[in-house]
């Protein structure tokens, strides 16, 4: 049996030139929301054995820019389990920063990751699709 506070997931990705949406290779915030969605899917599978559906965000904060070439790590955890809903908190941190000021391929590993975004969202997994036993938080 798992408890909500024990369920965590993380992904780390490199943002490519195709992820850039604005001038200066700036990546738009919607890309971070997509990564939050991927983490939400993993959390739902861990919790229920089903992908569920991320139905909405309670809050979203974009705190620092991301650029093509940066590496971002996204983490999430379930903070509350309802009958069909799962409340989740997400955080995105830049862990490697592209250094185009030095060369096209230069990058620095950040000693202290930079929090670039946070969100709180809700995923719903229909009762008939839940395949795991869990306890409410």
Q: What is the pTM of this model?
A: 0.88
The domain defined by 2-135 folds into Thiol Ester Dehydrase; Chain A (3.10.129)
pLDDT tens by residue, 54-77: 999 999 999 999 999 999 999 999
User: Mean pLDDT throughout 21-45?
Assistant: 93
Question: Any bridge partners for residue 79, and if so which?
Answer: none
User: Mean pLDDT throughout 83-102?
Assistant: 94
Local structure of 48: helix, strand or coil = helix
Residue from 125, 137, 117 nearest 75 by CA: 117
Whether residue 137 is predicted with pLDDT greater than 70 in this model: the reply is no
Per-residue pLDDT at 133 = 62
| Contact (CB, 8 A) for 123 and 48 | no
Rounded mean pLDDT of the chain?
90
Cα 3-136-84 angle, rounded to 5 deg: 115
Per-residue pLDDT at 42 = 94
Per-residue pLDDT at 127 = 82
| Contact (CB, 8 A) for 91 and 115 | yes
Whether residue 130 is predicted with pLDDT greater than 90 in this model: the reply is no
Whether residue 132 is predicted with pLDDT greater than 80 in this model: the reply is no
Per-residue pLDDT at 131 = 80
Local structure of 136: helix, strand or coil = coil
């Amino acid at each position: 049996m798992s408890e909500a506070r024990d369920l965590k997931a993380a992904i780390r990705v490199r943002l490519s030139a195709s992820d850039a949406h604005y001038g200066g290779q700036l990546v738009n915030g919607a890309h971070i929301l997509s990564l939050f969605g991927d983490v939400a899917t993993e959390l739902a599978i861990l919790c229920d054995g089903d992908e569920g559906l991320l139905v909405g965000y309670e809050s979203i904060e974009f705190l620092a820019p991301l650029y093509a070439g940066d590496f971002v790590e996204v983490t999430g955890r379930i903070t509350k389990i309802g009958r069909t809903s799962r409340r989740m908190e997400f955080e995105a941190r830049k862990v490697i920063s592209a250094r185009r000021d030095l060369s096209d391929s230069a990058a620095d590993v950040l000693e202290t990751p930079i929090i670039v975004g946070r969100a709180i969202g809700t995923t719903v997994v229909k009762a008939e699709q839940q395949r795991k036993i869990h306890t409410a938080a």
